[in-house]
């Protein structure tokens, strides 16, 4: 069966080759529409958006980049470059490579932070945005959970072992998942290596800047970056039981940008897959507002 996408690459300012999936319909998406760019979370890759991208690709051009150190993108020689400002610069390089002046961003977790920073620095590039389980303020509980598993470098002999390990770590966030769901998540998150073991599909060194950060440092004020999204279609997605993105933060985001739409995915934590019926319906409605 033919793939629904084409594998492509672009170059970063510091010489890395990064990978992205280009879902361009064979029949051709409406050229008047800006492309959609899906931006993954901290430890994830392009496979996270496979189902959503195929759903959208009939009418939209969809690009799904893999940030440095993830998936088929180069690993960075300097772990210090695993930081949001660098990721924003890498995304800008992709926009310039493809001659993209405006795009619709669908950003999960870290991808949503990249979206907000880009809106603050290059607001003309954002035609609309979906922020998936992320906001200007993050709960300590969720941040501590991420620190507890990122960069551990575990590997497994079978996909079932990998699925069970994911369930041990993330089971509270996805109480409705069955065995097939966990295997599906494992195949999105991990990769079969040349030695026959199954391991996480990212450079373990992405954890170094996170774990080395001063816990007593005052976090940057992200509210101005979020408010830079005002005046364009905006969808806020929250997992009902998210440990990272609080309901109070969502309410404040809606207060500051009243026209923002919001959807809460029931019985789901950090982060919704965006394959849930509630998320899919909300994204389809959101895209109908893009001009």
- pLDDT score recorded for residue 277: 97
Q: Pick from 132, 71, 70: which is nearest to 273 by CA?
A: 132
**Residues 86-100: tens digit of each pLDDT:** 999 999 999 999 999
Angle separating helix axes 159-170 and 179-189, nearest 10 degrees:
100
- pLDDT score recorded for residue 34: 96
The answer, yes or no, to whether residue 291 has pLDDT greater than 60, is yes
For the chain, give me the number of helices (H) and strands (E)?
10, 11
- pLDDT score recorded for residue 27: 62
Cβ of 82: how many Cβ atoms within 10 Å? 23
**Residues 189-248: tens digit of each pLDDT:** 999 999 999 999 999 999 999 988 877 777 889 999 999 999 999 999 999 999 999 999
Locate the domains of the chain by residue range: 6-150+217-287, 152-201
N-term to C-term CA, the chain:
34
3-state helix, strand, coil in the chain (%, to 5): 40, 20, 40
- pLDDT score recorded for residue 129: 98
Residue pair 39/105 in contact by the 8 Å Cβ criterion: yes
- pLDDT score recorded for residue 217: 77
Give the predicted TM-score (pTM) of the model: 0.96
Element housing 128 (H / E): strand 126-132
Residue pair 290/34 in contact by the 8 Å Cβ criterion: yes
**Residues 10-47: tens digit of each pLDDT:** 999 999 999 999 998 656 667 789 999 999 999 999 99
**Residues 146-197: tens digit of each pLDDT:** 998 898 889 999 999 999 999 999 999 999 999 999 999 999 999 999 999 9
Distance CA 251, CA 191 (A): 38
CATH H-level superfamily of 6-150+217-287: Alpha/Beta hydrolase fold, catalytic domain (3.40.50.1820)
């Amino acid at each position: 069966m033919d793939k629904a996408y084409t594998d492509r690459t672009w170059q970063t300012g510091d010489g890395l080759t990064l990978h992205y999936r280009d879902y361009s319909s064979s029949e051709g998406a409406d050229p008047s529409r800006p492309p959609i760019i899906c931006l993954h979370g901290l430890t994830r890759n392009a496979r996270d958006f496979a189902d959503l991208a195929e759903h959208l690709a009939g009418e939209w051009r969809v690009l799904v980049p893999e940030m440095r150190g993830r998936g088929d993108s180069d690993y960075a020689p300097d772990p210090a470059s695993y930081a949001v400002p660098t990721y924003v610069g890498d995304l800008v390089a992709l926009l310039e490579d493809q001659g993209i002046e405006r795009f619709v961003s669908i950003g999960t977790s870290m991808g949503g932070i990249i979206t907000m920073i880009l809106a603050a620095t290059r607001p003309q590039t954002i035609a609309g945005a979906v922020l998936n389980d992320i906001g200007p303020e993050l709960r300590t509980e969720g941040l501590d959970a991420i620190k507890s598993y990122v960069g551990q470098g575990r590997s497994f002999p079978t996909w079932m072992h990998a699925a069970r390990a994911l369930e041990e770590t993330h089971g509270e966030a996805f109480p409705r998942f069955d065995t097939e769901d966990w295997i599906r998540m494992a195949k999105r998150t991990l990769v079969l290596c040349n030695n026959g073991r199954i391991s996480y599909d990212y450079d373990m060194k992405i954890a170094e800047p996170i774990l080395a950060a001063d816990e007593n440092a005052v976090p940057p004020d992200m509210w101005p970056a979020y408010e830079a999204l005002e005046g364009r279609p905006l969808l806020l997605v929250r997992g009902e039981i998210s440990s990272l993105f609080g309901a109070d933060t969502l309410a404040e985001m809606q207060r500051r940008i009243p026209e923002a739409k919001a959807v809460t995915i029931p019985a789901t934590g950090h982060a919704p897959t965006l394959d849930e019926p509630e998320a899919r319906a909300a994204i389809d409605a959101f895209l109908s507002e893009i001009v």
